[in-house]
Amino acid sequence: MKVAPKLVFLVKDPEGFSSAMYDSLQPTSDSIIQRSEETFELSLEQYGIKDQKACGNIANFIDNNNLLKVSLLLVEYYEPPLMSCVVNEVLKSIRAERLSSTVSLILPYILPASKLKCEDKNSSINNSRSSLYGFHTGPATEFTEDIIRVAEKPPLSLQINYEPLACLLQLVQFYSISTAVLIGKRGMNEEQEVLCEVGESLASAFSVCFIKNRIKLNLEETVKQKEPWRVLYG
Each residue of 162-199: pLDDT tens digit?
A: 999 999 999 999 999 999 999 999 877 789 999 999 99
- Sign for the pseudo-dihedral over CA of 116, 119, 124, 127: positive
Domain contains 176: yes
Around Cβ 234, how many Cβ atoms within 10 Å? Answer: 9
Residue/partner pairs of 62-68 with CB below 8 Å, 24 or more apart: 62/33, 62/34, 62/35, 62/36, 63/32, 63/33, 64/32, 68/2, 68/3, 68/4, 68/5
Give phi and psi for 158, each to the nearest 5. -60, 135
Which helix (DSSP H) or strand (DSSP E) does residue 210 occupy? strand 209-210
Q: How confident is the model at residue 119 (pLDDT cuts 50, 70, 90)?
A: confident
pTM of the predicted model as reported, rounded to 2 decimal places:
0.90
C-alpha atoms less than 13 angstroms from C-alpha of 181 in its C-beta half-sphere: 21
Q: In this structure, are residues 180 and 148 in contact, taking their beta carbons and an 8 Å threshold?
A: yes
Domain contains 1: no
Q: What is the pLDDT of residue 187?
A: 75
Buried b (16+ CB within 10 A) or exposed e, 25-50: bbbeeeeebeeeeeebebebeebeee
- Cα–Cα distance between 195 and 50 in angstroms, integer? 36
Task: For residue 55, give Cα distances in angstroms to 6, 12, 24, 92.
Answer: 20, 11, 21, 14
Least trusted range by pLDDT, from 52-56, 123-127, 176-180, 204-208: 123-127
Domain contains 90: yes
- Domain containing 21 equals 6-233
Domain contains 203: yes
Domain count, the chain: 1
What CATH number does the domain containing 102 carry?
Answer: 3.40.50
